[in-house]
């Protein structure tokens, strides 16, 4: 199982998204109950997967969160999940649509 890390800087974001292959990026608000439920679904998927994954705390690391929206041209939402492949967003969704099953279907596993 790949360790899930937190991205606290744009440099860490750059390093994470520049790597080859599929990876998950989760934007999480620690004060939102919807985000907490989505985070649990995300963690449930990550625990049974070897897919690299990272988390951005949207309140604590707002510049990193904003960079994702700007870089990919996808309006910021929270919670929000992205499936990246070779640095390109292949799938994304937010709020209650973030489920372990939805992530599995998007990844193709």
Locate the domains of the chain by residue range: 5-107
The answer to whether residue 2 scores a pLDDT higher than 50 is: no
For the segment 37-56, the average pLDDT, to the nearest whole number, is 96
The two three-digit tokens of residue 37, written as one number: 């439920």
pTM across the whole model? 0.94
For the segment 62-71, the average pLDDT, to the nearest whole number, is 97
Between CA 109 and CA 48 the distance in angstroms is 11
CATH for 5-107, among 3.40.30.10, 3.40.47.10, 3.40.50.300, 1.10.10.10?
A: 3.40.30.10
């Amino acid at each position: 199982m790949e360790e899930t890390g937190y991205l606290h800087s744009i440099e860490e974001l750059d390093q994470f998204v520049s790597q080859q292959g599929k990876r998950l990026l989760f934007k999480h608000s620690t004060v939102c109950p919807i985000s907490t439920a989505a985070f649990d679904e995300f963690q449930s998927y990550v625990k049974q997967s070897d897919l690299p994954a990272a988390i951005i705390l949207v309140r604590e690391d707002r510049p990193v969160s904003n960079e994702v929206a700007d870089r990919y041209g996808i309006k910021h939402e929270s919670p929000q999940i992205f499936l990246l492949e070779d640095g390109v967003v292949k799938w994304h969704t937010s709020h209650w649509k973030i489920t372990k099953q939805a992530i599995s279907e998007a990844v193709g596993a």
